[in-house]
Amino acid sequence: MGILLLTSVPSLLLSIALATQPIPAFESKELNLLSSVSQQEEHFILIEEDEMSDKTELVIENLQQRKDYTLDRGEACRYIMDTYEILTGKKPKVVLENPFSDVDTESQAFILQAYDLGIVNGKGDNIFSPSEGLSRSDFVILLYRLIETVYPDADLSGTEEIVFEEKVSKAAMVPLQFAYSRGLIDIQNNGKIGLDNVLTLGEVSDILHEVIETAPDFPVKYTNFTSKRAFLTFDDGTSENTAKILDILKEYHVKATFFVTGTCDEELLQRMQEEGHIVGNHTNSHKYEVLYSSADAFWNDFYIEQQYLEDVLGTASPFMRFPGGSNNSIGMKNGVMGDITTQAKQNGYFYIDWNVDSGDARGNNVPKDTIVSNVLNGTSGKNQVIILMHQTKPKQTTVEALPEIIEGLQAQGYEIRPITEKSYMPRFVK
């Protein structure tokens, strides 16, 4: 706090003092006249100085244990205002006026701050309903208002052509177009945005971390909506077929995910990364009898590969695939898969199974037409498909089938994407 002016020559000097102060200080902070009794008496003008925030990372307490909890209106305001602090680097001003009978001024100050900034509204009749669940569309509206507040000059447009399959209210349309186009929200397993679904704390954490990471530019990722997604995945070590696969993907402007094993061609690994594909860990040895003899044996092998990939690519991937899938016969027989899959989730890894099998692992050089048919018939009735293929030397017919698979998927209405942390992830062992 600072005292701006103390004088017994009130009228003229007070006017001059106020006129010389920067206008933004009055716009962003409260002005309190502590005393202004008469022109002959002393005047104290108090202006709150900007308080810098030390928050640099969004923290949601006990997130791992609470990630599946649903979000309510009060907690939404808490995380919205935490994000406000991180984006602005300043603490929001203290709001003393409380229009709500069901909001505590001290313990729920973040609600009043969000309300004061115009980010959130009350429910009417002096009620806020902080414990009421918040839908995905409602949260996106709050998010959009937050971004407009912090970045009033930002270009948030460019997505007017996006049309959703669900009925969207007029108030939610622009915020949803923005959030979807920037990759902040995505479709659910049923191919819908899930506008009326209540968000979980895990989802909120992902969304707000993405906001913080992409601010202030918020680059556009998607310009049209499709409810059908296909994820091409290629397993095992690299070979001359890998280069051919990468060439085809580049020709079709398609990104894929590679789950690699052992010591691979480092130039091909780096090319995968440079061209926007995802590289995941498929273990070092790929030997079932070693990997699934015990949970410790699996992780020892896994971390050898993880360190190798980090040395080559400069980053550790959170994505992994179990040889044989999470329900492989040896691991299930030995009774270790429950422990390993649980540990994978606890350690922050995303293990990816599949729901469409190309069949190219059933032998060497399975006929091209069989591979194409397996994939395009395997998509029937599915909005989201993760397709299992392989890249080793005997998989030349997989390479030959790939153009027809890509064209066939696109003809069926699928958008082909690489796997991300928000992607659909089928798991044989939950």
Q: What is the dihedral of CA 121, 124, 130, 131, to 10 degrees?
A: -130
Distance CA 228, CA 412 (A): 9
Smallest CA-to-CA distance from 170 within 139, 141, 191 is with 141
Residues annotated as catalytic (active site), given as ranges: 235, 390
Strand bridging mode 2-5 / 44-47: antiparallel
3-state secondary structure of 257: strand
- Cα Rg of the chain (Å, integer): 28
Contact between 1 and 49 under an 8 Å Cβ cutoff? The reply is yes
Token output for 409: 């998927």
Secondary-structure percent of the chain, ordered helix, strand, coil, rounded to 5: 40, 10, 45
Contact between 414 and 229 under an 8 Å Cβ cutoff? The reply is yes
Strand bridging mode 356-357 / 384-390: parallel
Distance CA 377, CA 379 (A): 5
Q: What is the dihedral of CA 356, 360, 366, 372, to 10 degrees?
A: 30
